[in-house]
Chains A and B, each alone.
Chain A
Amino acid sequence: MNYGVYIHIPFCRRKCGYCDFYSLAGKDEMMEPYVDALINEMAARGRIAAEGEAATLYVGGGTPTALPIRLLSLVLQAARSSFRIAADAEITVEANPATVDLEYMTALETLGVTRLSIGAQEFNDSILRRIGRIHTARDTRDAVKWARAAGIVNVSLDLMYGLPGQTLDDVIWSVGSAMDLAVNHISVYGLTIEDGTPFSAMAESGELVLPTEEESEEMYDYLTGKLPPYGFARYEISNFAREGFESRHNIGYWSDTPYIGVGAAAASYWDGRRYTNVRDAAKYIETIGRGELPATLSEQPTRKNAMEEYCFLALRMAQGIEKEAFAGKFGEPIEKIYGDAIKNLKDNGLLTEENGFLRLTDKGMKLGNVAFRAFIL
């Protein structure tokens, strides 16, 4: 059985105002013990997954490239010795443009990294500063060039819209810049204000001036409308790729493929159960030190939850839910469970059916959460 491996590196030079992922800034002294713990966890988890093969490996964060290359090398080497990594595996590392140089990229290539996901977000430096990024547009351009120079062909950029002070012109400029760099993959994320982040407090106090709903929608329309004609197919609700450059690892999340997440706060999906690791690097290190696994069951798996997740994850993909696959997995036709929801979404133009697949329309993608909620029983 094929599976994916996710490795979480929680360290950052600085935490961005909007970020609510598990990450730590200014805890460099914890890097060494954390990497030791990761290596130990991978060894233990590799034994459990012995009979399968890892088709994808994804190092995310935080900022994986905040680690000195020496430590990141140890992590990648340990992954190779702990898991049976397929010969043609997709190995992705997330990078912050301000933390890499040609040497770093070359080292990654040597370690077998096949794909870089670069957190560009924007190409306007004043917006980048405002949202707490440590890099500039120039850094992004350099990072892409160095990756190419080092021989990493498959490069993805993250772009954000709906940022404070951002206009449609900024978004147009971002898309143009990404085209100039000839990347193969683009992820598009709208800014969401998450509880507990600095942005949440600033939004409440009025310090944060966000684009209006209409402006933000224009940006969304531009991005989702422009990228496909430029050759980037929207294969998932927020991901666009040139043919053959879709992220195999992320597709795994959406298509019921098992994955092992290692590191603090990492999520796993194994044997139909979902687990999360303890969301605290110090506790994580301590737990591994005691020879225990830091994973806890997120909740008791139920048939209801499994159906809900299956549907809203599959709907993220352009192809949608394969009705036969649903029936095969759950023993009942999808209409029996979700007949009303499906009809209602179809009536409102959010969902369409073709060749045995139920998929979101453009309107449905735009109202993704509305459609997903309809599949919560």
Chain B
Amino acid sequence: MMNKQGRPTTGTATNGGELATISGHRGLDREVKLIFETGRPGACGVDLPEPELKHDRLGGLRRRGAIGLPGLSEPEVVRHFVRLSRKNYAIDYGLYPLGSCTMKHNPRLNEKMARLPGFADIHPLQPVSTIQGALSLIDHLAHWLKLLTNMPAVAMSPKAGAHGETCGLMTIRAAHHAKGEAHRTVVLVPESAHGTNPATAALVGYTVEEVPANERGRVDVAALKAKLGPNVAAIMLTNPNTCGLFENDMIEIADAVHKAGAYFYCDGANFNAIVGRVRPGDLGIDAMHINLHKTFSTPHGGGGPGAGPVVLSAALAPFAPVPLILHGANGFELIEDDAAAKSHDAKPFGRMTAFHGQMGMFTRAMAYMLSHGADGLAQVAGDAVLNANYILASLKDVMSAPFAHSGPCMHEALFDDSFLKDTGVTTLDISKALIDEGYHPMTMYFPLVVHGAMLIEPTETESKHALDEFIHVLGTLAKEAKGNDKRRFEGAPHFAPRRRLDETAAARKPVLRWTPPAKAQAAE
């Protein structure tokens, strides 16, 4: 059909899918050069006044020679990063079912609150009288965290989950040393643990011993008890665990750990499954980090920043690192050094970071908590668990769910690759085929306790409709994997900005930065 000016008003279905374009772009998906390849001397994206300086005070150390930074105007910079952004999947775009990572909706109100000048434009070392609102906010957030966990204290400064683990284990180490029990050098870690757990234990100077899982996907309590001895400093346990299951023997484990003179560290990465419904303090836990970027929805930002406050039991509380925030006669006080802390009966093990922690994440988490309230947070956990169980129930027969026989899961549903046996299709192929279907893949090949793991965490912010679509797609992929036509899986993804990338080549001869062409040639 044509309109009166001869403009076609209907499409024609001519084939063109495989056509190479002149530019290399494909419609909305543009190839993007590096800024170093498009920038040139003389262009600049800022206007600054001319310096008036005649004599510098740089002690003869003025920088000579070009740094090599490219010059770009503001519109070029905007286009560069907008074009790059379009090559990313995002939770704002669709379901992001990365198990253990908790990709839930990030409310924009939280962004707005974090940018209030009273929070964003204050310096960590300006006089304490001028930052009473900031200290009050941190104290307020700490109060919520303590009530939600039923723990008496919280160290706020750790900057992410692994940093929180470090803080927790250092607190435990300090407590043992204070009791004259420095000989405790072993930390027990279940084989299903996040990689950060054994890495942290090693960082803090401990030897790691693994505890096996049982056939129900939980810690083998008998094996654990057999390993508990006078040399054990702590156990690090994730609960709900990385198989998405609640460790139902928690209280028995805690009793055994305490009886052996050790402390119970809980990896709180999965606190989002139980917030408002189960308080870790009631389970006998001594220390637990809370990933504010998971449970309390501060955005993941392509890999951070996060925040990992650590709640502490009464036994560990005195050893928390500086800084400490106290209520004083003239408002809030900030205790920044050991000696001052000691005058308040604290025995801090040291300092985790230069300043007071991730204020920008605290403000976002606080806005999230105030928005949900006690009722909303309990519903968050409940809906997250319901959504995961809905996926488990809908897919367990077409895929294989190794622990489905043991009852409901928590916030994530775990599948293994036994349904793919003899099909030639792998967990990786299923994941890449999901990309073609418009989804970010689930966590793959983790936890290590099952073969070819697929760990699906839908979170509470997905609608039933969104889950039904996803279940339909994944279920159909599972059926096709078992069928005769496997074209969907071969070389997937086909419709992403890039096909499968050669990770082996990248690691064999690492190219970690751009080098000017002349230099690159000379180096060869």
Chains A and B form a bound pair: no
